[in-house]
């Protein structure tokens, strides 16, 4: 049975995706900062008959990622076939006044941690004959929004990273895709680094986003979705 690795799996899009993939028959490797929430989710998914292993990893700490991730990927006896880089954060505030440490924190979570995850999983995917990497991006990668500049930069860089990695790994049978999203109703909007008055009722539903990720994950080896864009019907939020 195929194995999927999901980062940011404890809540929001990540948890919804874990449930969708488990119901579709995937065994799971789950990563998040909150070990307690991951543990609860793992119990739920194991009740569906799935094998689930978890690791509490703080992706904001570059030194704390690669060794525990390598260990996690060894626990099910086979490499993941699908890797979903979902973990991320946002920060609202003008660029000129943004503290450097916040800039570095955001770039680490939204970009560099994805690079580090890929450093671990790409050799595993190659050894398994190929696989899929799905990076969760945002329409902010293609647009400029006041007070969202750092987030826009991080997601634009992620989109470029994904395209470059796709070209490098194509010959190894690895596809790299982006899922580009408008606003999604997740706990991100409750975080202390985000100040927004958007109508959350008009946002995308995480469960519908999870269905899109499952669709991308289940593509046959003969084709790939380079990028799939989902936007709220109400327009840009």
Q: Using alpha carbons, select from 205, 85, 204, 211 the residue that is nearest to residue 154.
A: 85
- Between CA 228 and CA 210 the distance in angstroms is 12
Residue 137 · residue 152 · CB < 8 Å: no
Q: Which helix (H) or strand (E) holds 62?
A: none
Catalytic residue check, 91: no
Contacts of 15 (CB under 8 A, 6+ apart): 9, 41, 206
Token pair belonging to 236: 């840009």
- Out of 53, 151, 165, 175, which one is annotated catalytic? 151
Length of the chain: 237
Cα distances (angstroms) measured from residue 71 to each of 2, 132, 143: 18, 20, 38
- Between CA 229 and CA 1 the distance in angstroms is 28
Residues serving a catalytic function are: 151
């Amino acid at each position: 049975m195929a194995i999927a690795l999901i980062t940011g799996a404890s809540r929001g899009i990540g948890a919804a995706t874990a449930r969708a993939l488990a119901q579709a028959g995937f065994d799971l490797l789950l990563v998040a900062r909150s070990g307690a929430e991951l543990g609860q989710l793992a119990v739920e998914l194991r009740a569906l008959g799935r094998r689930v292993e978890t690791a509490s990893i703080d992706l904001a700490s570059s030194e704390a990622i690669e060794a525990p991730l390598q260990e996690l990927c060894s626990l099910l006896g086979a490499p993941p076939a699908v890797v979903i880089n979902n973990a991320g954060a946002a920060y609202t505030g003008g660029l000129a006044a943004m503290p450097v440490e916040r800039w570095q924190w955001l770039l680490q979570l939204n970009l560099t941690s994805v690079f580090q995850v890929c450093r671990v999983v790409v050799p595993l995917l190659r050894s398994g004959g190929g696989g899929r990497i799905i990076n969760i991006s945002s329409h902010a990668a293609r647009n400029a929004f006041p007070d969202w500049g750092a987030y826009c930069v991080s997601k634009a860089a992620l989109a470029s990273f994904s395209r470059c990695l796709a070209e490098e790994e194509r010959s190894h049978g690895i596809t790299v895709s982006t899922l580009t999203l408008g606003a999604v109703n997740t706990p991100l909007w409750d975080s202390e680094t985000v100040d927004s008055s958007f109508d959350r009722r008009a946002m995308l539903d995480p469960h519908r986003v999870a269905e899109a990720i499952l669709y991308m994950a289940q593509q046959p080896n003969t084709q790939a979705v380079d990028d799939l864009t989902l936007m709220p019907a109400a327009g840009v939020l």
